[in-house]
């Protein structure tokens, strides 16, 4: 069976795995960004386990070619590891998975000045793979396809003009014969859409706007012509349910951040919900039709960007003794949502971090119960809003373990003040209209790794972190959770208890999610290292301290039991 056949067969079977307690990752490989189409970030491998992880040792390292923030999670197909770097220059590399030796290396040539259109870092989170081809999103708004064996470029297709402030930083979702991708730019007033390309030729097959125009359902949710520059971009990874043939994507903040441009200045915003921004949408990948949408933050006034991943599991949420097909989302707005992935209805909504902008979530009305005092406006300064605009959880992926039935969330503990200002759209420039000083959250810590029970809606254990914006998470059948933090510590943690069993200082902040695989009969855990400067720039004095606390990085490290 080929690698692609295994990927498709494994992903088609994942829906049965949560109830059966079976594996989710594809055999010995790591064939897709989240480990499987359901975005579990989980591996069945057990050679490295909680009994022997103290013997985990350095195996090999590879420079990623620059010292910018590194957010890539490698793929492993057969005995080859595929990894990307941040731009400056930006590389795609194929490495020997057992040694880190370079098999081929391609530099993605970028136009001069492209960096100014990348809101939140000149980063890249990795590639997608299908049928012997590697697909990568580019800062210049294009998708490129390469031969996985040789690195030969097969096609490059522009899907958006980067000069409007739209770059691509995440891998596309490959479903059937389609390569599906969105782009960034919510901070620049880009109007979001998703594009599907033919995976062999790169030709466009369909295009779907996430912010509806005149005559499209939901356009009435926008004040005047504010939809034209409405944000709602899709810049993070998607999930896919093959049984129901639905692909799931999160959409970004509406633009501008100043909500008075898009509707009333109060929490009584009436119909002006600004569909489909700060939302999760389900689309039919065959034609791009939006099947349903769920807005966690209607008429968003806080930059509670809704792009965070939807993790697809089958668990008994309704209490009838049967597994329910749901999607799990730790939203930036501080709520952990359990969504019916067939209808999009929220079945549960529980705050997973300290959250006060809303007093709760009304499941009957399917909308948050806002605290009017926490909604900023023109000449109205809202104070001590929690969470901060980087969110209760940012883009860094959480992990689901079918063994513990827990999700592991890299969370933040920050708050803010916020006030609107007048703002005008200028193509290729920030379109914000906000003042947003950062404050620490309660408790004296700024980040937290949380083990969360999605059925009970409660925290099981947590590890407090000195800094926010910590790394993504990997769970394994060996009873372990792997996670790095901004302080540069890479750790193996007991998945049931939260005890740190092993740690290693890697010299720079860690944001990327780790991956694990087997090569030459040995299991490896691999993680990219390189701390961010861009996001801390949004956090004032706290951000300045974060940058000073760690040097830049730019490495890929692999570990194994020796």
CA atoms in the 13 A half-sphere facing the CB of 97: 24
Q: Kindly list the domain boundaries of the chain, sorted by start residue.
A: 3-100+125-561
386 and 356 Cβ atoms separated by less than 8 Å: yes
Beta strands in 331-398 (DSSP E): 335-340, 346-351, 358-362, 367-370, 382-385
What is residue 533's predicted lDDT score, i.e. its pLDDT? Answer: 87
Across 461-474, average pLDDT = 98
Across 311-331, average pLDDT = 97
Would you state the structure tokens that stand for residue 512, as one six-digit string?
């990327």
Peptide bond into 89 cis (omega under 30): yes
What is residue 435's predicted lDDT score, i.e. its pLDDT? Answer: 96
Whether the pLDDT of residue 7 is over 50: the answer is no
Classify 334 in phi/psi space as left (phi over 0), alpha (psi -120 to 50) or beta. left
Q: Considering only CA atoms, which of 1, 285, 2 is closest in space to residue 133?
A: 2
Prediction pTM value: 0.95
Cβ neighbours of residue 291 closer than 8 Å, sequence gap 6 or more = 246, 282, 283, 284, 344
pLDDT band at 265 (very low <50, low <70, confident <90, very high): confident
28 and 22 Cβ atoms separated by less than 8 Å: no
Which H, E and C letters describe 293-325, residue by residue? Answer: EEECCCCCCCCCCCCCCCEEEEECCCCCCCCEE
Residue 140: phi and psi, rounded to 5, are: -90, 20
pLDDT band at 429 (very low <50, low <70, confident <90, very high): very high
Query: Among all chains, which residue has been given the structure tokens 């009584």?
Result: 268
Rounded CA separation 538/440 (Å): 14
Across 103-124, average pLDDT = 95
What is residue 26's predicted lDDT score, i.e. its pLDDT? Answer: 56
Q: How far is CA 543 from CA 23, 289, 395, 437, 559, in A?
A: 39, 40, 17, 11, 30
358 and 369 Cβ atoms separated by less than 8 Å: yes
Q: Considering only CA atoms, which of 32, 6, 2, 241 is closest in space to residue 134?
A: 32
Q: Which tens digits make up the pLDDT trace of 519-532?
A: 999 999 999 999 99
- The alpha carbon of 445 is separated from its chain's Cα centroid by a whole number of angstroms, namely 23
Q: Which tens digits make up the pLDDT trace of 348-387?
A: 999 999 999 999 999 999 999 999 999 999 999 999 999 9
361 and 346 Cβ atoms separated by less than 8 Å: yes
Beta bridge partners of 293: 281
Query: Among all chains, which residue has been given the structure tokens 């730790």?
Result: 330
Query: Among all chains, which residue has been given the structure tokens 């944001």?
Result: 511
44 and 28 Cβ atoms separated by less than 8 Å: no
Cβ neighbours of residue 421 closer than 8 Å, sequence gap 6 or more = 258, 378, 433, 434, 435
31 and 8 Cβ atoms separated by less than 8 Å: no
What is residue 20's predicted lDDT score, i.e. its pLDDT? Answer: 30
Would you state the structure tokens that stand for residue 42, as one six-digit string?
């989980």
Would you state the structure tokens that stand for residue 188, as one six-digit string?
């620049």
153 and 107 Cβ atoms separated by less than 8 Å: no
Residue 555: phi and psi, rounded to 5, are: -130, 155
Rounded CA separation 208/193 (Å): 5
Rounded CA separation 401/275 (Å): 33
Instruction: Give Dmax over CA atoms of the chain in angstroms.
Output: 64
Strands 193-198, 204-209: pairing is: antiparallel
Question: How many angstroms separate the first and last alpha carbons of the chain?
Answer: 31
Catalytic choice (303, 305, 314, 324): 303
For the chain, the helix, strand and coil percentages under 3-state DSSP, each to the nearest 5: 10, 40, 50
Rg (CA), the chain: 21
Rounded CA separation 458/365 (Å): 23
Whether the pLDDT of residue 240 is over 60: the answer is yes
Averaged pLDDT score across all residues of the chain: 94
Across 73-77, average pLDDT = 98
What is residue 12's predicted lDDT score, i.e. its pLDDT? Answer: 40
Beta strands in 395-551 (DSSP E): 399-401, 406-412, 414-420, 434-435, 438-440, 447-453, 458-465, 473-476, 480-484, 489-494, 500-505, 515-519, 522-529
Beta bridge partners of 522: 519
Q: Which tens digits make up the pLDDT trace of 138-170?
A: 999 999 999 999 999 999 999 999 999 999 999
Percent of the chain with pLDDT over 90: 93
476 and 43 Cβ atoms separated by less than 8 Å: yes
Q: How far is CA 427 from CA 41, 191, 225, 276, 360, in A?
A: 37, 12, 16, 22, 37
What is residue 10's predicted lDDT score, i.e. its pLDDT? Answer: 41
Q: Does the active-site annotation cover 303? A: yes
Residue 416: phi and psi, rounded to 5, are: -165, 160
pLDDT band at 442 (very low <50, low <70, confident <90, very high): very high
Q: What fold characterizes domain 3-100+125-561? A: Methanol Dehydrogenase; Chain A (2.140.10)
The edge-to-edge listing of strands for the beta sheet with 555-561 is 56-63, 555-561, 522-529, 515-519
Higher pLDDT, 3 or 185: 185
Higher pLDDT, 26 or 290: 290
């Amino acid at each position: 069976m080929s690698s692609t056949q295994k990927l498709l067969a494994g992903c088609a079977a994942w829906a049965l795995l949560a109830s059966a307690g079976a594996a989710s990752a594809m055999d010995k490989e790591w064939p897709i960004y989240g480990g499987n189409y359901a975005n579990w970030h989980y591996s069945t491998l057990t050679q490295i386990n909680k009994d022997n992880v103290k013997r985990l040792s350095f195996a090999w390292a590879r420079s990623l070619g620059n010292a910018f923030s590194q957010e890539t999670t490698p793929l492993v197909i057969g005995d080859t590891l595929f990894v990307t770097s941040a731009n400056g220059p930006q590389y795609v590399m194929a490495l020997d998975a057992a040694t880190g030796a370079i098999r081929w290396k391609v530099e993605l040539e970028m136009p001069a000045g492209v960096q100014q259109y990348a809101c939140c870092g000149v980063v890249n989170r990795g590639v997608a793979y299908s049928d012997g081809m590697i697909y990568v999103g580019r800062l210049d708004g294009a998708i490129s396809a390469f031969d996985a064996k040789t690195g030969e470029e097969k096609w490059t297709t522009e899907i958006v003009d980067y000069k409007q402030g739209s770059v691509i930083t995440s891998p596309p979702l490959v479903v059937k014969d389609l390569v599906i991708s969105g782009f960034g730019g919510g901070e620049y007033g880009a109007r979001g859409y998703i594009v599907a390309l033919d995976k062999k030729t790169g030709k466009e097959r369909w295009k779907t706007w996430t912010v509806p125009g005149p005559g499209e359902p939901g356009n009435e949710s926008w004040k005047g012509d504010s939809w034209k520059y409405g944000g709602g971009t899709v810049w993070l990874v998607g999930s896919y349910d093959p049984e129901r043939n639905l692909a799931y994507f999160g959409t970004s903040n509406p633009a501008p951040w100043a909500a008075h441009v898009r509707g009333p200045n109060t929490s009584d915003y009436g119909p002006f919900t600004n569909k489909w921004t700060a939302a999760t949408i389900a689309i039919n990948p065959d034609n791009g039709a939006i099947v349903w949408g769920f807005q966690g933050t209607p008429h968003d006034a806080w930059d509670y960007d809704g792009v965070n991943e939807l993790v697809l599991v089958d668990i008994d949420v309704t209490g009838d003794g049967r597994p329910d097909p749901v999607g799990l989302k730790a939203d930036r707005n501080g709520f952990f949502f359990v969504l019916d992935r067939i209808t999009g209805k929220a079945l549960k909504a529980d705050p997973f971090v300290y959250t006060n902008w809303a007093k709760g979530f009304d499941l009957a009305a399917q909308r948050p119960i806002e605290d009017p005092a926490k909604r900023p406006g023109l000449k109205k300064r809202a104070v001590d809003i929690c969470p901060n605009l980087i969110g209760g959880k940012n883009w860094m992926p959480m992990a689901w373990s079918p063994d513990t039935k827990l999700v592991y969330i890299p969370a933040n503990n920050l708050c803010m003040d916020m006030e609107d200002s007048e703002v005008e759209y200028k193509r290729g420039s920030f379109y914000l209209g906000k003042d947003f000083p950062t404050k620490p959250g309660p408790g004296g810590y700024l980040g937290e790794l949380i083990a969360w029970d999605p059925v009970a809606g409660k925290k099981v254990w947590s590890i407090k972190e000195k800094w926010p914006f910590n790394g993504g998470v990997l769970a394994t059948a060996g009873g372990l959770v792997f996670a790095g933090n901004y302080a540069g510590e890479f750790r193996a943690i007991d998945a049931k208890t939260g005890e740190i069993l092993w740690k290693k200082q890697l010299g720079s902040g860690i944001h990327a999610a780790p991956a694990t695989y087997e090569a030459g009969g040995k299991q490896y855990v691999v993680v990219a290292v390189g701390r961010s400067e861009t996001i801390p720039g949004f956090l004032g004095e706290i951000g300045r301290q974060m940058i000073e606390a760690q040097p830049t990085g730019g490495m890929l490290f692999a570990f194994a039991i020796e």
